Copies of this chain bind each other. A is one copy, B any other.
């Protein structure tokens, strides 16, 4: 379906948003763009249609003069790959109007959940369906993504929350009661202007929100961890906004009686061949600054024997591995390209 010998033509819907911008940033550095095997086609937007991309993404110099088309099935037609960075609930209609052969990679939540009741509880409205989950590190996903033509990119919080605790859950080394406290940079809240996301309100302040199990990423974490555990896993999730542009730091805990050594061994095995998962040595814990702009997830582990608790700390760039990087990684797999092409584990630090 996707032929390496031909040029793959890519469209990005929602190109003026943060997810769209990150996908374009990564595509600009993708080696197949330079070689001509990849081409950046239509860039579309909603309210920003008709404006230049350069007004919205001042970093994307090579594409600065591109004019944004309106997001419609027509403008997106004729592309081999279509990335969707749309508000929740808008992807299904677009997807249904494009041919089944088009590789559609959705950065929204619409096709992530398997359980319609969970969808209804957290998002409301009709459940659009379930697509292969763009987290190759998990279960049989990598195989499923190879050749897929529909992919649901995981949420940013779920990406780091799930992968920070997955090996311990899968190996049955912790009890199925997981707590996550996850700090996110402000880009995670998207680009729609709101007074409480103004710089003056966020700078110098840390703020909890969506407390008590109501955040929409909760069922996604439950779904993935329960599948790994083979039984329902309780997940208590607390998101916190902190004054940085990018990055999520997740503190993920679960009761354990296993020694750190045993748990570490399970992680080492699970992630031995993963290109983007980096397990830190004993006594080291990640910081989000080290993964900025990279597709890496860094994980550090500790066991508090007194409290009988595993604490796994994971760091990710919410826009890269948390969104746009996972989208490109998924595209690479679906097209049969090298999984790491156009992606790096080296963050821009300090």
Interface residues, chain A, with chain B CB atoms under 8 Å away: 18, 21, 25, 28-29, 31, 57-62, 177, 179, 181, 183, 185-187, 189, 191-195, 197-209, 211-213, 234-236, 238, 240, 242-247, 249, 251, 253, 278, 285-294, 296, 298, 300, 302-309, 311, 313, 315, 344-350
Contact = CB atoms under 8 A, between A and B. Distances in A.
Given A18-B350, A59-B294, A195-B191, A186 B203 contact: yes
A229 to B, nearest CB: 15
Contact of A212 (B177, B191, B193, B303): B303
A325 B13 CA distance: 33
Given A199-B199, A251-B238, A350 B187 contact: yes
12 contacts: A58-B286, A59-B349, A60-B346, A61-B345, A193-B193, A204-B288, A206-B242, A208-B251, A211-B313, A213-B304, A236-B253, A242-B243
Contacts of A195: 191-193
Given A193-B195, A246-B204, A304-B236, A211 B289 contact: no
A349 B213 CA distance: 29
Contact of A207 (B57, B236, B285, B309): B285
A272 B77 CA distance: 36
Nearest to A305: B213
A324 to B, nearest CB: 11
Contacts of A60: 346
Contacts of A307: 177, 179, 213, 234-236
Contacts of A302: 211-213
A199 B245 contact: yes
Number of copies: 4
Given A18-B350, A21-B349, A187-B200, 11 more contacts: A58-B349, A181-B238, A186-B203, A200-B350, A205-B350, A206-B249, A207-B285, A207-B286, A211-B285, A211-B302, A242-B243
A179 B311 CA distance: 11
A274 to B, nearest CB: 12
Contacts of A290: 58-59, 205
Given A205-B289, A212-B304, A242-B242, A309 B236 contact: yes
Contact of A200 (B181, B186, B205, B278): B186
A249 B208 contact: yes
